[in-house]
Amino acid sequence: MPAFSLREAAPEDIDELARLHVAIWRETYCKLAPAEAFAALDVQRRKAFWQDKFDHPAVGQGIFLAEVNGKLAGFCLASASSNPDFGEMAEIKFLYVSGDFKRQGLGKRLISKAAQHLITAGYRSVGLGVVEGNEPAIRFYSALGGREAGRYTDSGPIWRSRNIIYAWPDITLLSAV
């Protein structure tokens, strides 16, 4: 496995983060998302999204990057949840790893780093939403001990996806993966 490092994201990462976000999103949802979502999602839209995350961080927010030989390979965004279906749980809002680096431990390291951050922020439990039909993600989160805890329809601005909530009632279990 190539050497990789984890670090907290900074505003100067926005351009690269937006490009990677769009690329991974398109790869991940190519058979799940409608054509209109692909047409609506572009780098400019994601740059605006990430700029807003830095300008107006959510409670408990942490943005973490995985780099391989200095190249951005994955990212994770975690914070308080704004979705009432999550109750008191914190939320892993995004966890994406480039296809070039999947199955090398980056996803585990990123989600563990996010969980450690959320513990420091005072959270005891965490959840995340997985788009129905995203079987690789479902297998990954199940293997990490996540359990189905509900379902919701994302009100998102470009796609109203149906999602499964995976939860870790004891966040310390996820922080140690």
Alpha carbons 27 and 151: distance in angstroms, whole number: 23
| CB-based contacts of 28-33 (< 8 A; 24+ apart in sequence) | 28/96, 28/134, 28/137, 29/131, 29/134, 31/133, 32/131, 32/133, 32/134, 32/161, 33/159, 33/161
Residue 100 is predicted with a pLDDT of 83
pTM for the predicted model, two decimal places: 0.93
Pairwise CA distance, residues 165 & 150, whole Å? 5
The pLDDT tens digits of the residues spanning 25-55 come to: 999 888 888 888 888 889 999 999 999 999 9
Class of the 4-175 domain? alpha beta
**pLDDT at residue 84, as a whole number:** 94
Cβ contact 85:152 at 8 Å: yes
Q: Which residues of the chain have pLDDT under 70?
A: 1-2
Percent of the chain with pLDDT over 70: 99
Amino acid 149: pLDDT: 96
Domain ranges for the chain: 4-175
